Amino acid sequence: MEKPEQLIVDGKRLDGRAPEELRPIKIVAGALGRADGSAYIEMGNNKVIAAVYGPREMHPRHEAQPDFAVLRCRYTMAPFSVEERKRPGPDRRSIEISKVIREALQPALFLELYPRAVIDVFIEVLQADAGTRTAGINAAAVALADAGIPMRDLVSAVAVGKVDNTIVIDLMKAEDQWGTTDMPVAMMPRKKAITLLQMDGHFTEEEFKRALDLAMRGCEQIYEAQRRALKEKYAVGGTE
């Protein structure tokens, strides 16, 4: 796609969204039969699968920790998930994203309940349109809950940024590529605790506050979609 002259025209983004509007979101809990827990998510044109295995015995054994379970995360992009074929296998980007996803999820888990064990989280991006790390976190949180792993809270994530001098939420590829700022945020919504905050570009202090507030409101909406997906499978939440 060539760079358009403007990314926001008459207050509307290229896909017709308002600046504060999320892309359509769809979540299915338990999308895979063989995993202990799983979820499929679509956030706009992103399509991502998360699979959870464990808690199970750690291999290699010497990586086991005597007092808590190790959370292991692997984020990968399918070769066909992006416009230019992605070379299979880990690269700097996927290693970094796997690390920040682990750090975003870890505070929600009671890892001390499972000494010597490992919990494996696999995130596979099938189709990418910017915001795959946040979509991956949203799917992984549902997959962890689907695996029956006790959690303090879910983790919900979305990116915010600045495009044509406007603060926007849930950037698509064109906005990620040609916008000036991209800030992925993850939080535990009930605890209002931020577990991931990265920034590519610049915000003034005032813009940062507005963007973070917008991200937190977006996470609340995503949290509701995550809960709905789990309810559809388990009817959690009693008569709510």
Q: According to CB under 6 A, which one of 26, 85, 93, 228 is a site residue for ligand UDP?
A: 93
Residue 39 CB-density burial (10 A; 0-12 exposed, 13-18 middle, 19+ buried): buried
Closest to ligand UDP by CB, 57 or 96: 96
Q: According to CB under 6 A, which one of 13, 47, 162, 173 is a site residue for ligand UDP?
A: 173
Phi, then psi, of 85 in degrees rounded to 5: -45, 130
**94 in Cβ contact with 77 (< 8 Å):** yes
The pairing of strands 117-127 and 70-77 is: parallel
Structure tokens at 170: 């849930």
Closest to ligand UDP by CB, 129 or 153: 129
129 lies in the site for ligand UDP, by CB under 6 A:
yes
Q: In whole angstroms, how close is the CB of 235 to ligand UDP at the nearest point?
A: 32
Reference 14, options 129, 125, 127, 126; nearest CA is 129
Query: Left if phi > 0, otherwise alpha if psi is -120 to 50, otherwise beta: which for 192?
Result: left
Q: In whole angstroms, how close is the CB of 131 to ligand UDP at the nearest point?
A: 5
Closest to ligand UDP by CB, 35 or 128: 128
Reference 169, options 201, 217, 223; nearest CA is 217
Q: How many residues bind ligand UDP (CB under 6 A)?
A: 12
83 lies in the site for ligand UDP, by CB under 6 A:
yes
Q: What per-residue string of b and e applies to 94-126 under the rule 16 or more CB within 10 Å gives b? A: beebbebbbebbebbbebeebeebbbbbbbbbe
Q: According to CB under 6 A, which one of 15, 20, 176, 207 is a site residue for ligand UDP?
A: 176
Q: In whole angstroms, how close is the CB of 91 to ligand UDP at the nearest point?
A: 8
Stretch that binds ligand UDP, among 20-28, 29-37, 82-90, 110-118 (CB under 6 A): 82-90
128 lies in the site for ligand UDP, by CB under 6 A:
yes
Phi, then psi, of 153 in degrees rounded to 5: -170, 165
Closest to ligand UDP by CB, 149 or 196: 196
Spatial distance between the Cα atoms of 137 and 124, rounded to a whole number of angstroms: 11
Q: In whole angstroms, how close is the CB of 75 to ligand UDP at the nearest point?
A: 9
98 lies in the site for ligand UDP, by CB under 6 A:
no
Residues that bind ligand UDP (CB under 6 A): 82-83, 86, 93, 128-133, 173, 176
